[in-house]
Amino acid sequence: MTITPQHFEDRLNHIRTRLVQQGKLVVELAELTFNTIYDRDAECAQKLMARDDEVDQADIEIERDAVDLLTLAVRQACPIDPAQIRSLLTAVKVNNELERIADATTDIAQRVITLGERTAPFPKTTRVMTNSIVGILRDTVRAFRDINAEKAKSVLTCEGNTLSFHELITRDAEVRVADGRMGVDTAFSLHAIINQAVLMGDHCTNIAEQVIYEATGTIVRHTTAGWIEHDLPNLKDRDS
C-alpha cells in the first residue's frame, strides 16, 4: 500500500477515535467500580474485573496500529508534519496511561471482594474523592478528544485536591481504628483503595501533559511547586 500524507492523517484520526472510545470505557469502568465500594457488591466487582480484558485487547490493537502506521510512513519516506508526529506519539503514550488506569480499577475491585462481609462505612470524604477522580478522568478524555490545552491544564490543577482528599481520609481512618469504629483490615483495604485512586489521578496528569504537548509543542513537567512549561522553539518553528 502506498501511503500519502492524507492517508497518514486518516489513519491517525482513526487511532485517535479508538483511543477516545477506550477512554470512555475506562471512565465507565472507574465509575462502576467505585460504586461497588459503597454497595459492597463483590459480585459486580468480579464482573468488572473481567472487563479489563476489553481494555487490554484494545490497548494491544491501538499500539500495533500506531507502530504499523509509523513503520509504513518511514519505509516509504512519506512526508509527515511535526504536528502529526506529536499526535501519534501522544496517542501511544495516552494508550498506555489508559490501560494503567484500567489496571487500577481492577485492583480496587479486588479490594472490594476482599472486604467481604465487613460493612463498616468508609469516611464520607471517600465518595467525594472517588467522584472527583471520575470527573477528572472524564475531563481528561475530553481534553484528549478535543486536543484542548486549557482543559488539560485544568486537569493538572486538580492534583493537589486529590492528595488533600487522600490525607483527610487517611487521618479519619486512623481515628476510626483508634476508637473502634473501623477494624484494621477494613482500614487497610480503604488505604489501598484511595492509593489506587491517587494513582488514577497521576495517570490523568500524565495524559493532560501529553495533550498540552500535542496541542502546543510545549513540554510540561511537574515540580514540588507545581507544574511548569518548557517551550520547544525549534519544534514550533518547524510547525509554522
How far are the Cα atoms of 7, 196, 219, 229, 237 from residue 240, in angstroms, in the given order?
22, 41, 18, 20, 5
* pLDDT value at residue 218: 84
Q: Please give the pLDDT value at position 237.
A: 40
Q: Which residues of 100-109 are buried (b: 16+ CB within 10 A; e: fewer)?
A: bbbbbbbebb
User: Rounded to the nearest 5 degrees, what angle is found at the Cα of 164, between the Cα atoms of 162 and 165?
Assistant: 65
CA-closest candidate to residue 1, choices 84, 73, 64:
73
Return the DSSP state at 1.
-
Task: Please tell me the pTM assigned to this model.
Answer: 0.88
CATH number for the domain that contains residue 73 = 1.20.58.220
Domain count, the chain: 1
What is residue 2's predicted lDDT score, i.e. its pLDDT?
77
Round to whole Å and give the CA distance between 139 and 232. Answer: 26
Nearest Cα to Cα of residue 201 among 143, 145, 156: 156
- pLDDT on residue 49: 93
Give the pLDDT score at 228.
56
Structural domain range at position 150 = 5-239
Q: Per-residue pLDDT tens for 201-222?
A: 999 999 999 999 999 888 876 5
Tell me the backbone φ, ψ of residue 189, rounded to 5 degrees: -65, -40
Amino acid at 74: V
pLDDT under 70: residue ranges of the chain: 1, 221-240
